[in-house]
Chains A and B, each alone.
Chain A
Amino acid sequence: MTDMHPSVRRPAANREVVVGTECVTPVKVWQPWIRLLHWTLVGTVVVLSLTGFYIADPVVLGGDGGGLMATVRFVHVLAGWMLITVLVGRLYLAFAGNPWARWPQLLPVWRERRAQLWHTVRYYAFLEKHPAEVVGHNPMAGLAYVGLFGMLAVQAVTGIALVAVTDRDGWEWAATGWVFQLLAVPEVRLLHHLVMWFTWTFVVFHVYAATLVDRVERGGEISSMVGGWKMMPTGRIEEELSRDAARRRRRRR
């Protein structure tokens, strides 16, 4: 193991383990920033959906109402800005993060990743016994995250546009007023509302897939999103790291 990437802790005597015929090494797949962004994202999406749902269909409490709508809208827009911050942060890590955060993990641009994508499709169709062996995301998950980030970007644009209608002299209108050239205001609301449901469709599948690979395939994914570490075959880690290093060398040249 020469030229070790810092993500991989040099196996101490009791760290590298032999399972069957293979050596496995702990590897820090998810750097702290990725984990922080992930769980912040989960929090903001939950808050945005709950507050958004109230905005769409408010329940009426008794008494003087307690300023509920004004508060909920404020919280929604605040959480919206947090979501946008997360998206920007993730975009940055797609270029500056560790090898498993960078964009080739999200878009299957390499032949090997495309083969693994096909393998994953076959796995979900019960045609392969086990998922493709990858250290980071499998390529299908990567594509799903691209789709998710796309939907969240739609939420960000339509959300800012719905803020903009309150004041057509603000910068929000200058930035997103064009949305209303394409859609009327109620249609923008409808789109924003529908994409919330599309997001939850993703989440249901996402949590199922994470549970499946964690509980049935014993990949330790869920704890990896908490602690960052995965146990992976040593050879596999080195292969992925050398591929990443080669890509960066090519780019530098």
Chain B
Amino acid sequence: MTGAAVAGPTQAEPPAAPGPEAGPLAALGIRRRSFLTWTARITALLALPATLRPQVAQAVEAAVASGERPTLVWLEFQDCTGDTESFLRARNPSVSQVILDLVSVDYQETIMAGAGEAAEASKAAAIARGGHIIVVEGSVPLGAGGGYCVIGGRSAEQILTEAVKGAAAVINVGTCSAYGGLPAAAPNPTQAVAVPDVVQGVPMVNLPGCPANVDNITATLVHYLTFGQLPPTDEQGRPLFAYGERIHDNCPKRGHFDAGQFALAFGDEGHRKGWCLYKLGCKGPSTWHNCSTQKWNGGTSWPIQAGAPCVGCSEPGFWDTMTPMYARLPDVTGVGQDLSAEKIGLGLVGATAVGATVHGVVKVARTRRQLAAEAPAVPPPPPPLPPTERDATDDQTPAGAR
């Protein structure tokens, strides 16, 4: 995020800005001032230069005025509904309304009023119209012929493949739809896969996390409305505005990290003082996400602020690669038992040291015996040889035959 974008408009909203309380937004009961504050915040979150704020505001207003609301179909597969919960906790309730009114949420199992065949019918209609945005929450199980997740008589895979036909974009919210998540963790009994493993050829963006942060969902939608396309992403398909930097890079505890001040146990003095959670297994240094700047629940708090080490929930395969959650390094697995790096290392070094010592003792003993056996060939000098191996070698081994 550029400094200008963060610092600029969020704090310094010029008092002259509020325009007449009229137009489509007023019709929705949204005050102009709070709308402009909201667009400023979204522009900053999207890491766009502050000069683009008017464009964002215009695009949103135009979309509201035109009444042509893009259709949003929210599909839930093997999930925990956490992303839906997150979605319902928009930062600014009056303005989140804007987004909910900008997009027409035609299908959302958890919150829609309709049920059963009526719900399925409205989904089918939305898909038939085309140009819709698909939001997917949860992974897609391929095992048992798709039998682990069946809705309205059809498997998750079937529902997904049909739904993306004619879709304008796919937004994967949460780690499960983006990367497989918990259901896909070893041994992955349902053969769960991520959405990109099933669907290709549609513009797609991943908003991983357990759950995805509603601020990032909103900002992605606003980006789409403003520019007609999804935001630029990293190699993992995550938008750079939200996943461009590591948690650790912007963590408020980073000063304690650099200083060398670490909590050693939950509840100890360092932990109470708010020191860095590195030694408690914090995965912030391995995790690209904006939790440390955006926080959660309307900016109230977030895990590390509450004293819980980051578990790396927005990284692919985090259940397998970031565990144990409260240890810094993973163990070496698949060798009969889980071994820590230290156990393996000390074992190897120790075994080599013991082996070398034994070898050395045997070698010295043999050399002595050998020299003793060769000794009679040389007439013993009048004062008997001191019994050290070193002198014996000096006197009797030809230096060439090392």
- Which residues of A come within 8 Å of B, CB atoms? 19-22, 24, 56-58, 60-61, 64-70, 72, 124, 126, 129-131, 133, 165-166, 168, 177, 181, 184-187, 189-190, 193-194, 196-198, 200-201, 204-205, 208, 211-213, 215-219, 231-233, 236
Contact = CB atoms under 8 A, between A and B. Distances in A.
B402 A190 contact: no
B59 to A, nearest CB: 28
Contacts of B318: 184
B400 A233 contact: yes
Nearest to A180: B235
A69 B345 CA distance: 23
A200 B234 CA distance: 38
Contact of B332 (A20, A181, A194): A194
Contacts of A232: 400
Contact of A204 (B285, B328, B356, B402): B356
A216 B367 CA distance: 8
B402 A213 contact: yes
Interface stretch (B165-173, B253-261, B298-306): B253-261
B402 A131 contact: yes
B353 interface: yes
Contacts of A60: 260-262, 264, 270
A69 B362 contact: no
Contact of B363 (A70, A126, A194, A218): A126
Given A20-B399, A70-B258, A184-B286, 11 more contacts: A20-B400, A124-B359, A165-B285, A186-B283, A186-B329, A189-B286, A189-B328, A194-B341, A208-B356, A208-B359, A216-B367
Contact of B400 (A65, A131, A133, A189): A133
B348 A218 contact: no
Nearest to A125: B359
A165 B286 contact: yes
B259 A69 contact: yes
Contacts of B348: 197-198, 201
Contacts of A184: 286, 315-318, 321-322
Given A133-B402, A186-B283, A205 B329 contact: no
Nearest to B363: A216
Interface in B272-289: 278-279, 283, 285-286
Contacts of A194: 332, 341, 344-345
User: 7 closest Cβ contacts across the A-B interface?
Assistant: A197-B345, A68-B260, A65-B259, A184-B321, A65-B260, A185-B286, A20-B398
B397 interface: yes
B259 A218 contact: no
Contacts of A198: 345, 348
Given A197-B345, A218-B393, A168 B332 contact: no
B91 to A, nearest CB: 27
A19 B348 CA distance: 41
B259 A68 contact: yes
Contact of A69 (B235, B257, B328, B366): B257
